[in-house]
């Protein structure tokens, strides 16, 4: 407790304890800073508590259920396969607890002071943190704002009752019989397909002409095909207009090509993007921090805002709203504060979607490379040509590598298929280190592994594939 209203002195104030904030705090502490981190919710932020981690736990459970039901191809059969969703949720919550407990231990181990409550700027060097029990004031030399984002709420579809955001969708007590999903981006596609695997009748309403609109059409085509196998209805080029709910169901009215339609389900999940947490009582306007027209904080190449001693990272700054981007920016900001010459370089930020099959991308697409003036060569090697993929009964998909035809430097890669989320790492490293197609092709990959597909894709782009005809 603070006696009177005197300010306590710290080196660094970090606001927000998500994957951006807590990583920034740890890096700063490693560099000798006295750090206070403040969060009004749990350590780990949305990612560990209400996003990345719990969703992947439920997706893993859905895969297990599907495998148990459909093992005939391996000669494995089971009768009366059931889901105890209460135990599934218990598993998910256990995963979350393990991860957040780990963050708590890291805070203690790095001697980072943690305050559970809210924060409000008094000036560009002072802030008050407060909860129901105390309200100390701190004087800081530097500050990193990492307050993250929240689901966008549309006026016709206010959250509550049977209209859910992704947060509520991850905490349902039982598997719904039916669900409507507005928005076929990565969150809607992941959660819609997950519930579909559990047996929910899912309808996805998407405004554009495909689910996962940020990915290559050849990739999304495979995802849509697998969605159809579990009975998902995908309605594209559609505009959701209104919803009416009662205590048992919700009906959504939408239009396609000028024709009005409606669909009814137990729940409506709205996943149309996320909004930066730069409004509210934080007091950014009080200190004159510059925001753009979307409410994002303007920052330089080190994360420094319009106020030199205040930095911002993660979902509240321009760029993709990705946990690993936030962590990366947190390290850069902490190092900049410590006097290092670290700067952000967004050339290699992988994007991953945990649909079935998984999708991942890093670097430039073929179209983007051509738009930047490169002379490009590319090729796709199919998972069907890989022994490990076939033995896993997962021959769908491909790895595409995009290279500069003048010097064979790898410019980008896209993967759709089993373990795409892990396979993309090698190609990200290749781009980061300036590797050529030959560097990948001449690297001996263990057999039989999925990693061989990366090598074979490089050989294909070079013009001498081994396991498929040119």
**Which residues are catalytically annotated?**
447
Q: Is there a binding annotation on residue 123? A: no
Pair type for strands 250-256 and 259-265: antiparallel
Nearest to 436 by CA among 465, 403, 400: 403
d(CA 194, CA 61): 9
Q: Is there a binding annotation on residue 190? A: yes
Q: Where are the beta strands (DSSP E) in 246-397?
A: 250-256, 259-265, 267-270, 274-276, 310-312, 351-353, 358-363, 376-382
Q: Is there a binding annotation on residue 378? A: no
Contact present, 163 and 245 (Cβ < 8 Å) = yes
Q: Is there a binding annotation on residue 185? A: yes
Q: Is there a binding annotation on residue 273? A: yes
Nearest to 202 by CA among 250, 248, 267, 253: 267
Q: What's the burial of 143, exposed, middle or buried (CB within 10 Å: 0-12/13-18/19+)?
A: buried
Structure tokens at 235: 């309605």
Q: Is there a binding annotation on residue 183? A: yes
| Block residue for tokens 């304890």 | 17
Q: Alpha carbon of 263 to those of 192, 204, 212: distances in Å?
A: 16, 11, 22
Q: What's the burial of 91, exposed, middle or buried (CB within 10 Å: 0-12/13-18/19+)?
A: middle
d(CA 69, CA 36): 50
d(CA 38, CA 377): 49
DSSP-assigned beta bridge partners for residue 143: 13, 310
Contact present, 336 and 143 (Cβ < 8 Å) = no
Cα torsion 332, 336, 342, 343: sign: positive
Q: What's the burial of 442, exposed, middle or buried (CB within 10 Å: 0-12/13-18/19+)?
A: exposed
Q: Is there a binding annotation on residue 51? A: no
Q: Where are the beta strands (DSSP E) in 317-393?
A: 351-353, 358-363, 376-382
Nearest to 414 by CA among 394, 396, 428, 404: 428
CB contact set of 136 (below 8 Å; sequence gap of 6+): 1, 2, 8, 115, 128, 129, 130
Pair type for strands 410-417 and 398-404: antiparallel
Q: Is there a binding annotation on residue 206? A: yes
Q: Is there a binding annotation on residue 188? A: yes
Q: Is there a binding annotation on residue 363? A: no
Question: Which amino acids are annotated as binding site for NAD(+), given as ranges?
Answer: 183-190, 206, 273
Question: Which amino acids are annotated as binding site, given as ranges?
Answer: 56, 147-149, 183-190, 206, 273, 315
Question: Which amino acids are annotated as binding site for FAD, given as ranges?
Answer: 56, 147-149, 315
């Amino acid at each position: 407790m603070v006696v009177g209203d005197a300010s306590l002195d710290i080196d660094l104030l970090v606001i927000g304890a998500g994957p951006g904030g807590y990583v920034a705090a740890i890096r700063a502490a490693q560099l000798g800073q006295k750090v206070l981190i403040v969060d009004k919710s749990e350590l780990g932020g949305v990612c560990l508590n209400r996003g990345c981690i719990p969703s992947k736990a439920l997706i893993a459970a859905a895969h297990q259920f599907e495998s148990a039901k459909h093992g005939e191809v391996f000669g494995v059969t089971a009768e009366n396969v059931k889901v105890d969703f209460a135990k599934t949720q218990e598993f998910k919550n256990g995963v979350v607890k393990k991860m957040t407990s780990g963050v708590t231990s890291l805070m203690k181990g790095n001697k980072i002071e943690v305050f559970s409550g809210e924060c409000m700027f008094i000036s560009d060097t002072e802030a008050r943190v407060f909860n129901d029990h105390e309200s100390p004031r701190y004087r800081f030399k530097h500050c990193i704002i990492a307050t993250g984002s929240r689901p966008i709420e549309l006026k016709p579809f206010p959250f509550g009752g049977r209209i859910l955001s992704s947060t509520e969708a991850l905490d349902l007590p039982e598997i719904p019989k039916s669900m409507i999903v507005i928005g076929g981006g990565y969150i809607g596609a992941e959660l819609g397909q997950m519930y579909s695997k559990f047996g929910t009748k899912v309808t996805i309403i998407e405004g554009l002409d495909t689910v996962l609109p940020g990915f290559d059409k050849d990739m999304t085509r495979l995802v849509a095909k697998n969605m159809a196998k579990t009975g998902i209805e995908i309605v594209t080029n559609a505009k959701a207009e209104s919803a009416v709910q009662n205590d048992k169901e919700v009906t959504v009215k939408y239009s396609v090509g000028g024709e009005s339609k409606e669909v009814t389900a137990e729940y409506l999940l709205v996943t149309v993007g996320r909004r930066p947490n730069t409004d509210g009582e934080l007091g950014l306007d009080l200190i004159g921090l510059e925001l753009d027209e979307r409410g994002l904080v303007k920052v330089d190449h080190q994360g420094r805002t319009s106020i030199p001693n205040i930095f911002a990272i993660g979902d509240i700054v321009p760029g993709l709203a990705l946990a690993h981007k936030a962590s990366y920016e947190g390290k850069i900001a902490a190092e900049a504060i410590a006097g290092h010459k670290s700067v952000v370089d967004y050339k290699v930020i992988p994007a991953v979607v945990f649909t079935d099959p998984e999708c991942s991308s890093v670097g430039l697409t073929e179209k983007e490379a051509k738009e930047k003036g490169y002379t490009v060569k590319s090729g796709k090697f199919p998972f069907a040509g890989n022994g490990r993929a076939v033995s896993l009964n997962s021959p769908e998909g491909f790895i595409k590598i995009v290279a500069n035809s003048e010097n064979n430097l790898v410019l980008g890669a896209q993967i759709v298929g089993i373990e795409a989320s892990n396979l993309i790492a090698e190609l990200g490293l290749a781009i980061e280190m300036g590797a050529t197609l030959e560097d990948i092709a001449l690297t001996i990959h263990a057999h039989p592994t999925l990693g061989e597909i990366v090598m074979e894709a490089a050989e294909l782009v070079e013009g001498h594939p081994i396991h498929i005809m040119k």
